[in-house]
A and B are shown apart, each in its own frame.
Chain A
Amino acid sequence: MNQLRKLPRSALGSLALIAAVVGGGAAAFAYTAGWFSPHRLTSGKMVEAFTPPSEAPLGHRRNHAKGICFTGVFEANGNGEQLSGARVFVPGRYPVVGRFNLGTPHSDAADATARVRGLGLLISSDDGHEWRTAMINPPVFPVSTPQAFYDMLRAGKDPSAVKAFTDSNPEIAAFLEWAKTAPWTASYAEERYNSLNSFIFTDGAGEDHAVRWSLVPAAQPAPVSKADPEKRGPNSLEQEITERVRTAGPQRWTMVVTVADPGDPTADPSKAWPSDRRTVPVGTLVVQRIEPERDGPCRDINFDPTVLPPGMRVSDDPFPAARSSVYRKSYDLRTAEAKYYPHTEAAKP
């Protein structure tokens, strides 16, 4: 019982020390977890801001919730090798899985109600790496920072907050101008999809290039009035692309990489780069087959824009990291809610 002999001298001090170490450790952990920082912008808050007041689209993506799958190939023409060492730019054909989608949190939205249309893409190269990207059709992003985007979502739910929001985020004017004046089309195949975010490509010599990319449609856009898709029904875009690929065959887009000049705003996707910047067509996206999302190959894919092959990485643009974090949250939620997703019997979650 020799420990008892030694107890009285320092036991209290020792106990206090142990309590301080354990308590301090727990407090540091809680601080790191953000439990003392209610104002920290988290992926959970962002998802909450997306969620419509009516109800959460259980089992679906929390934004761009409505979509339709496609498969096809990316045909690299070799031009991309001057910008990036990524395998996917070596001339050849690389399988793709993708998803046409609408910028809405409603999985059952009518196709004509969404101004923003998107394209998610996953290109696999034979070295086992993947290039995932999620692009949209406006030429600029509405706001400069993830915090401003969160504020925008919140203001969108509160009409009295809109004025204050646009006053403090004047950069949104360019996006609003596009939304007001850009022609509508009646087809996913006639849209141009833009990365908007900037990334860094590293070429074989180790040289970095700040870039953005776009998919430019081969199909000639035929402007229609906004009322036109409304007339055609709530799933007109999905029906149209299915029908078009079935009857007219594969649809094509040229993947165009735009290279920044020094000083171009890479950290702010609400700022377009000057139109005279160098562009490099690096290949062709060929959409060969359309499948409903319900059992389609795109359903279980998170088009996380930070899944990049060696030769590409994120830039100082804060959005890809924020998108990755929020997309992951959305994925975690919808996989946990898989029983609510309208699976057909053949396809188990």
Chain B
Amino acid sequence: MTNLPHRFTLLQRLLHWLMAVGIIAMLFIGVGMVSTITPKYLPLILLHRSLGLVLLLLVLIRLALRLYYGAPPLPIDLPRPMKLGAKLSHLALYGLMIVMPLLGLGMLWAAAYPVVVYRGIQIPALLPQSDNVHSLLWSAHFYLAFAFFALVLLHVAAGLFHALIRRDGVFATMAPLPLRDPAVPSE
């Protein structure tokens, strides 16, 4: 097992934390902007659109890195259900990271809104206007956002559980900086 990495690569960790901040910001901006009619509605929506697009690009890079570098193995003694939970929740997180910006883009296209981000950059529409498609994508974007946030909370709880209670080295694999308390080897 000595060949297996004990940590994600620096680039992977960097992307993880960068996107963590971005995604949490997106969820808060999203839920905030749809509940206000004050002037901050407009900058929030512009930020939501622009950041969403950046996150879509980042997750594609991240997915490529994940497929290329893989991930450190989970501890051997981690109970089976927790391993399964970890696998499924990460799959769901990746799925949502990819799908949410696409749903957002798609619902704007299907509503015939021009998708303009910072500096007046416009993303060409790949879908025609359609009431039904807009409605479907809108609902998916809206409801999945809450599932996404719940999953982020679960992910945070699990990370802290590994770091503070199990102390099994899982958190250290993604920690932004090497932890002073050396990780417990997974072998």
CA distance A2 to B185 in the complex (A): 11
CA distance A1 to B131 in the complex (A): 56
B6 to chain A, nearest CB (A): 16
Determine if A146 is an interface residue (Cβ-Cβ < 8 Å). Answer: yes
Determine if B77 is an interface residue (Cβ-Cβ < 8 Å). Answer: yes
B171 to chain A, nearest CB (A): 12
Contact A18 B157 (CB under 8 A): yes
A5 to chain B, nearest CB (A): 10
Residue of A129, A326, A334 touching B37 (CB-CB under 8 A):
A326
Contact B130 A349 (CB under 8 A): yes
Contact B157 A29 (CB under 8 A): no
Residue of B nearest to A318 (CB): B39
B:137-182 near A, CB below 8 Å: 138-139, 149, 152-153, 156-157, 160-161, 164-168
Is chain B's interface secondary structure helix, strand, loop, or mixed overall? helix
Is chain A's interface secondary structure helix, strand, loop, or mixed overall? helix
B118 to chain A, nearest CB (A): 11
Given that A18-B160, A146-B37 are known contacts, is A300 also in contact with B32, CB under 8 Å in the complex?
Answer: no
Given that A14-B164, A22-B157 are known contacts, is A338 also in contact with B131, CB under 8 Å in the complex?
Answer: yes
Number of interface residues of B (CB under 8 A): 44
Interface string of B57-81 (1 = CB under 8 A from A): 0000000000000000000010000
The residues of A with any CB-CB pair to B shorter than 8 Å are 1-3, 6-7, 10-11, 14-15, 17-18, 21-22, 25-26, 28-29, 32-34, 40-43, 46, 128-130, 146, 300-302, 304, 306-307, 309-310, 314, 316, 318, 320-322, 324-326, 331-332, 334-336, 338, 349
Contact A21 B156 (CB under 8 A): yes
Residue of B nearest to A309 (CB): B120
Chain B residues in 8 Å Cβ range of A326: 37
Chain B residues in 8 Å Cβ range of A324: 41-42, 45
CA distance A46 to B36 in the complex (A): 11
Determine if B122 is an interface residue (Cβ-Cβ < 8 Å). Answer: yes
Given that A3-B168, A18-B160, A26-B153 are known contacts, is A321 also in contact with B42, CB under 8 Å in the complex?
Answer: yes
Residue of B32, B77, B113, B167 touching A6 (CB-CB under 8 A):
B167
A297 to chain B, nearest CB (A): 10
Chain B residues in 8 Å Cβ range of A11: 165
